[in-house]
Amino acid sequence: MTETIRIPDLGGADTVTVLEISVAPGDTIELEQTLLVLESDKATMDVPSPSTGVVEKVLVSEGDEVAEGDAILEVAISTAEDAGQSEAEPEPEAESAAPQQQQSEPQPAPENEPPRNTEESPVAQAEKDEVIRVPDLGGAETVTVLEISVAPGDTIELEQTLLVLESDKATMDVPSPVAGIVKQVLVKEGSEVSEGDAILELTVSVSGDAGQPERAAAADQPAAAAEPEPQPGPAAEAETQQPGGASEEPARLEVVRVPDLGGSEAVTVLEISVAEDEPVEQEQSLLVLESDKATMDVPSPMAGIVKRILLTEGSEVSEGDAILELLVTDKATQTASAPVTAEQQTQVSEPEKAPQPAAEPPPQQPAVVEKADNKGAVVNEGQYLSASEVYAGPAVRKLARELGVDLKKVKGTGPRQRVQPDDLHAYLKQAVKQLQSGSGGGEGIPPVPETDFSRYGSTEQVALTRIQQLTAKGMQRSWLNVPHVTHFDEADITDLEEHRKSLAESAGAEKPKLTLLPFLLLAVAKSLEENPAFNRALAADSKNFVQRQFFNVGMAVDTPNGLVVPVVKDVDQKDIWQLAEEILSLAEKARQGQLKPDEMKGACFTISSLGAIGGNGFTPIVNTPEAGILGVSRSQIKPVWSGTEFEPRLMLPLSLSYDHRIVNGADAGRFMATLTAELAAAARQ
Ligand code: CAO
């Protein structure tokens, strides 16, 4: 049976634009699968399918203007059951798909507007919309929306945090009183809100005949947010004790107690901010308490001197528990007979100065504080950060604590540099990336501290060329990953040098310049063949290796832009003159910056020749994933014992660095023996 799907109730919009068609003829569609995305000037909305079936015809195009009741699709419905729900030409209301609006901009919720319900829609029969409002703020008149923790379209759980609000004393999470899907967010970050203000619209599933959504026990009115706990800005309560029994005493002892916790039964003492025998100002923070929803300071209801602290960090406390004994010195100070209520507290002007933490908390005490200056501070293991350094909401701080992130290092992008959840994620992403790349002090390698060289003389900052940057990266990667050993030897090239010269002299003008390098390339190829350990690459799992069966050799070329390593392919299949030609051509291209990427890839081994420049030896760095590299230094005539006498011989210093994970010292000794023998033998070829 074919059913025509029509545009559902558009919630007031006359016409909307078809933004996207999400299905095509022939598609099998599920119940509630998105068919279209519509857009009005206020919102975008998905149109879900009211039934399962196969799309036969799409009756609209992207960009079309449509109105409620317009035909969208023809669908062959798949079961008799579905057919019963959807007639071929059903009444528009019965066939309409339920829009799931995704408000692109927050819209103020009209006061007293009954929650829109979509009971007419077959899909929405078990759903209704609820407006969630700012709960009792515990006396604060207005608070700031610090963070909106959900977005339109999000499925949220009962008690999931919707917003983080901030008064001048505390931040608090506003948990959802009901599970559902966020339809619209009606406030913006940074806006000021008061109790009862609409926060967002939720589409909630209603269960059973009563049609009531499942909700938190404490929040059983529709569209009411759960009470945040604890309430912001509680003031400690104090009761007078008369140490001497005389009410006229200029100084008296007050017991300061845990104030109304706004519904929380027990909270944890995160931090004790004062010390015994220390003077405190009225409103100076005495403690930081934390429930599972918020952190709060407990300001002192009066000035005085702390005589005795009656609880410990980490302990669980409830309203009325004694915090400390305060020797009250200022008669004008508010006393226990008139304790500051939470409401009064919010009217008190800003404290003269930000409260200071009295002592470093013990290193094992992770804590988060919100100070009266609205700044947050995180105490991570072994660290105390002053309240003015970090600014973040409870959810972010909790996550940071769990992950061991020092929030001080996270760049906050929120209002007043507040650290948002995304900032924390970005920081962690970057940290993981650094760790994996092994750069910037990852993997436990301490970064080199930056030095201001201008303190010692005039300087100039010069950018590295791209090649230099790549070389730096490659060298560091190899140096950090490859355990290097360098094996030294000398090859007697007296005869080879004579041979080379005679070849060069007898060659016609058309022949290229013949240096030692082509001979070295051939000898290396032969040595790789005879010593396969040098032609291996260790697999990433360190459990396998790849044995290369070809002999490509890279040669380091010094260019004005930096070091490049063109690769001579299949060295074993070329003769001296072909190699001489290729070396010249590759070296020239390298110096001109004209090497193609392919000409710098695929090497099994590298030769780095400094022979023309000088030196007795050096320790080259393996060009990983190759297993070895040969450093060639300047040849010189040396006295060599022949068995009967010292003979002057031309000796070539060779330094063979290798990856000791895949090549053993014995392999290196054998490789070098082959190499020197090959160089000697080359004179006879
Ligand atoms: N001992 C003595 N003389 C040597 C020699 C050695 N080991 N190697 C080369 N020479 C001589 C050559 O025979 C040539 O002499 P003549 O001009 O008298 O004929 C002269 O030095 C110049 O040689 P060359 O440099 O033109 O040619 P090459 O084939 O030896 O080297 C190349 C080519 C591209 C490797 C070289 O030019 C080069 O760039 N070398 C630098 C490599 C480098 O930077 N390595 C370090 C990497 S790690 O930082």
Q: What is d(CA 372, CA 375) in angstroms, rounded to the nearest whole number?
A: 7
DSSP string, 255-295: EEE----TT-S-EEEEEE---TT-EE-TT-EEEEEE-SSEE
- Tell me if 383 sits within 8 A of 390, measured CB to CB: no
Among residues 654, 272, 282, the alpha carbon closest in space to that of 487 is found at 654
What residue type is 439 in one-letter code? S
> Which residues lie closer than 8 Å to 298 by C-beta, 6 or more apart?
234, 235, 236, 258, 259, 285, 286, 287, 288, 289, 323
What residue type is 518 in one-letter code? P
Q: What is d(CA 269, CA 298) in angstroms, rounded to the nearest whole number?
A: 10
- Render pLDDT for 482-493 as a digit per residue (tens, 0 to 9): 999 999 999 999
- Nearest ligand 1 atom to the CA of 587 is 34
- Whether 174 lines ligand 1, by a CB cut-off of 6 Å, is no
So what's the pLDDT on residue 467? 92
- Whether 617 lines ligand 1, by a CB cut-off of 6 Å, is no
**Crossing angle (nearest 10°) for helices 494-506 and 665-682:** 40
Q: What is d(CA 412, CA 98) in angstroms, rounded to the nearest whole number?
A: 39
Per cent of the chain over pLDDT 90 is: 32
Query: Which range (142-151, 493-502, 626-635) has the least confidence?
Result: 142-151
Q: What is d(CA 54, CA 90) in angstroms, rounded to the nearest whole number?
A: 18
Mean pLDDT of the 279-294 span: 80
Burial of 435 (0-12, 13-18, 19+ CB in 10 A): middle
Query: Which range (140-154, 270-284, 373-387, 543-557) has the least confidence?
Result: 373-387
> Which of 452 and 116 is assigned the larger pLDDT?
452
Q: What is d(CA 356, CA 373) in angstroms, rounded to the nearest whole number?
A: 11
Residue 577 banded pLDDT, cuts 50, 70, 90: very high
CA-based radius of gyration for the chain: 39
Q: What is d(CA 202, CA 160) in angstroms, rounded to the nearest whole number?
A: 13
Q: Provide the token pair at 356.
A: 């200071």
Structure letter (DSSP) for residue 132 = E
- Whether 516 lines ligand 1, by a CB cut-off of 6 Å, is yes
DSSP-assigned beta bridge partners for residue 74: 4, 57
Residue 613 Cα to ligand 1 middle (Å): 7
Among residues 382, 384, 229, the alpha carbon closest in space to that of 371 is found at 384
Instruction: Check whether 479 has a pLDDT greater than 90.
Output: yes
First-residue to last-residue Cα distance in the chain: 88
Residue 589 banded pLDDT, cuts 50, 70, 90: very high
Instruction: Check whether 243 has a pLDDT greater than 70.
Output: no
Mean pLDDT of the 371-398 span: 44
Question: H helices within 417-541, ranges in order?
Answer: 421-437, 466-481, 494-506, 517-530
- Tell me if 148 sits within 8 A of 157, measured CB to CB: no
Task: Please state the pTM of the whole predicted model.
Answer: 0.47
Mean pLDDT of the 583-601 span: 95
Structure letter (DSSP) for residue 99 = P
DSSP-assigned beta bridge partners for residue 178: 215
**Cis amide leading into 230 (omega within 30):** yes
- Render pLDDT for 493-529 as a digit per residue (tens, 0 to 9): 999 999 999 999 998 888 999 999 999 999 999 999 9
- Whether 557 lines ligand 1, by a CB cut-off of 6 Å, is yes
So what's the pLDDT on residue 553? 98
Strands 212-213 and 237-241: unpaired
DSSP-assigned beta bridge partners for residue 606: 554, 629
- Whether 654 lines ligand 1, by a CB cut-off of 6 Å, is no
Neighbours of 451 (CB within 10 A): 8
- Nearest ligand 1 atom to the CA of 620 is 48
Mean pLDDT of the chain: 77
Residue 524 Cα to ligand 1 middle (Å): 16
Give backbone dihedrals phi and psi of 114, rounded to 5 degrees, phi first.
-65, 145
Half-sphere exposure of 77 (CA within 13 A, CB side): 21
Among 174-183, 244-253, 570-579, top mean pLDDT goes to 570-579
Q: What is d(CA 590, CA 576) in angstroms, rounded to the nearest whole number?
A: 21
- Nearest ligand 1 atom to the CA of 518 is 29
Provide the b/e sequence for 211-239 (b: ≥16 CB within 10 Å): eebebbeebeebbbbbbbbbbbbbbbbbe
So what's the pLDDT on residue 299? 84
> Which of 391 and 384 is assigned the larger pLDDT?
391
Mean pLDDT of the 22-35 span: 85
- Tell me if 560 sits within 8 A of 591, measured CB to CB: yes
Q: Provide the token pair at 235.
A: 């003031």
Residue 278 banded pLDDT, cuts 50, 70, 90: confident
- Nearest ligand 1 atom to the CA of 608 is 45
Residue 594 Cα to ligand 1 middle (Å): 20
Contacts 24+ apart (CB under 8 A), 40-44: 40/10, 40/13, 40/16, 41/13, 42/13, 42/103, 42/104, 42/105, 42/107, 43/101, 43/102, 43/103, 43/104, 43/184, 44/19, 44/101, 44/102, 44/104
| Cα dihedral 259, 264, 266, 272 sign | negative
Among residues 141, 137, 140, 138, the alpha carbon closest in space to that of 163 is found at 137
Best residue for ligand 1 mutational test, from 515, 576, 630, 655 (most atoms within 8 Å of Cβ): 515
So what's the pLDDT on residue 337? 31
- Render pLDDT for 35-93 as a digit per residue (tens, 0 to 9): 888 877 666 677 888 888 888 889 998 888 998 889 998 888 865 444 333 333 333 33
Q: What is d(CA 127, CA 627) in angstroms, rounded to the nearest whole number?
A: 66
> Which residues lie closer than 8 Å to 213 by C-beta, 6 or more apart?
128, 130, 178, 179, 180, 204, 205, 206, 207
- Whether 587 lines ligand 1, by a CB cut-off of 6 Å, is yes
Q: Listing from the earlier edge strand, what are the strands of the sheet with 279-280?
A: 237-241, 252-257, 322-328, 304-309, 279-280
Residue 459 banded pLDDT, cuts 50, 70, 90: very high
- Whether 515 lines ligand 1, by a CB cut-off of 6 Å, is yes
Q: What is d(CA 523, CA 567) in angstroms, rounded to the nearest whole number?
A: 16
Mean pLDDT of the 192-211 span: 75
- Nearest ligand 1 atom to the CA of 504 is 19
Per cent of the chain over pLDDT 70 is: 73
Give CA torsion, residues 201, 206, 210, 215, to 10 deg: -70
Instruction: Check whether 23 has a pLDDT greater than 80.
Output: yes
Mean pLDDT of the 338-363 span: 32
Structure letter (DSSP) for residue 530 = H
Catalytic residue annotation: 660
Q: What is d(CA 680, CA 493) in angstroms, rounded to the nearest whole number?
A: 6
List C-alpha distances in Å: 681 to 491, 523, 524, 534, 673.
11, 9, 13, 21, 12
- Render pLDDT for 640-655 as a digit per residue (tens, 0 to 9): 999 999 999 999 999 9
Q: Which of helix, strand or coil describes residue 399?
A: helix
So what's the pLDDT on residue 238? 56
Mean pLDDT of the 321-332 span: 76
- Whether 609 lines ligand 1, by a CB cut-off of 6 Å, is yes
Provide the b/e sequence for 39-73 (b: ≥16 CB within 10 Å): bbebbbbbbbbbbbbbbeebebeeebebebebbbb
Structure letter (DSSP) for residue 392 = B
